[in-house]
Amino acid sequence: MGRSPCCDESGLKKGPWTQEEDEKLLQYIQKNGHGSWRTLPRLAGLNRCGKSCRLRWTNYLRPDIKRGKFSQEEEQTILHLHSVLGNKWSAIAAHLPGRTDNEIKNFWNTHLKKRLIQMGFDPMTHRPRTDFFAALPQLIALAALRDQLAAAADPAASAHLQAGAGAGVDVAIQAAKFQYLQCLLQSAAATTIASPAGTGAAHDAEAAAAALGGGLCSPQGTHDSADCQVPVSGSQLPSCTFPEAPVGSEEEGDQGLSYGGGGGGADDVVDVFAWHGGGGSLPPLADLSDAANNNMSGDGCSATASSSFGGTAATSSPLPCWPEFFPDDPFITDFL
C-alpha cells in the first residue's frame, strides 16, 4: 500500500522524453527485459523514475503498439466495452490488441464522449439522457419542424391548434408530441451514431420526416409496432456503415468476455444484453445502431434489438420506447 516513493525523489528528469532516452530504454529492455522498474532507470543509465520509464514503455515504446487512427471496429468495441465496463481502460485495452489504455482513454475523452453527449446520450450510462436541458436543443428543433410540417399539411388543423382548444386538449397534444419526439430522438440518435462522419443533422431531418409521415408512437409505449408505423424505406433511412460489432465470437473465445446468454460459459462476465426483462444492464449504443440498421422497418420505438454479439436474449428482446427504459422516471411518467 501507499504511494510509490520513486517519484518523490528529486533530481529526476520529468517531461517529454528525448530520442536518446527512448533509445536507452528501448535497448535496455530489449536486452534485459524490464525486470524491476524501480531499478531499471539506474541500470539503463536514465535519469528518470521507474514509473516514468514504465509509462513510456507501455504507452509508446512497446513494439506491439498500433498507432494511428482508431478504426470503426475499434470504435465500436470501445463503445460496447465502455457500456459494460465503464472507465476500466486497461480492461478495454485488453480487448484491443496494440492499443494502450492511455490511448483509449484519450480517444474516449476527446472523441467518443463528446459524440455521445452531442447525441443526447449519457456517456457514463450510455442511455438517452432524460434531463430536459440535455435534450432541449433537439426537442426545440424537432418540435418546430413538426409544427411546420403539420401546418403545411393541414392549415386548418394548425389554426385550430394555435387557437387553443382548451387546456386539456393542449396538454394531451403536448404529451403526444413529446412522446413522439422521444421516438424521433431515439431513431435520430441511432441513425446518427451509425454514421459518425457527421451527417447527423440530415439524418435527424429525415428521421423526423419519416416519423411525421407515419404518425405518433403509442403513448403507452407498447411493443405493438402498429402503434408506431413509420414507413422508412431505404432512401429515407440512410444506409448505416457500421461494420458488424467486432466484440463477437473470437474475443469471446479468446478472452472470456461474453455478451449475452448465447455463450454460456461458466466464466461469463456480464450478461450485457439481458437489459430488458429483469437483467438490469444497459442497452448498449450499438444496439440502437443495430436497431437502426436492421429493424427500422418500423420506427425507433418498436424496433427489435438484434445484437450481433450472439446473445440469444438480445435477438428476441424487443427494444422498447424510452418510457419503458425508465418506467419509474417521473419525467417520463409525467407525460404518460
Of residues 91 and 143, the one with the C-beta less far from DNA? 91
- Minimum Å gap between C-beta 15 and DNA is 5
CB nearer DNA, residue 56 or residue 126:
56
Interatomic CA distance for residues 91 and 89, integer angstroms: 5
Cell numbers at residue 118, please?
452531442
| Residue 205 CB burial class (10 angstroms; 0-12, 13-18, ≥19) | middle
Q: What are phi and psi of 81, to 5 degrees?
A: -65, -35
DSSP symbol at 196:
T
Q: How far is the CB of 9 from DNA (least distance, A)?
A: 10
Decide whether 37 or 178 has the Cβ nearer to DNA: 37
**Smallest separation (angstroms) from DNA to the CB of 185:** 23
Residues engaged in binding DNA (CB under 7 A) = 1-7, 13-17, 35-39, 48, 50-52, 54-56, 59-60, 87-91, 101-103, 105-107, 109-111, 114
Task: Choose between 101 and 227: whose C-beta lies nearer to DNA.
Answer: 101
Angstrom distance (rounded) from CA 318 to CA 275: 11
Q: Whose Cβ is closer to DNA: residue 101's or residue 290's?
A: 101
- Least Cβ distance, residue 55 to DNA (angstroms): 5
Q: From CA 323, how far away is CA 182, in angstroms rounded?
A: 9
Comparing CB distances to DNA, the nearer of 59 and 220 is 59
Smallest distance from DNA to CB 51, Å: 6
Q: How far is the CB of 102 from DNA (least distance, A)?
A: 5
Beta bridge partners of 318: 304
Calpha distance 200→197 (Å, rounded): 8
DSSP lists the bridge partners of residue 259 as: 270
Residues 5 and 201: their CA atoms lie apart, in Å, by 52
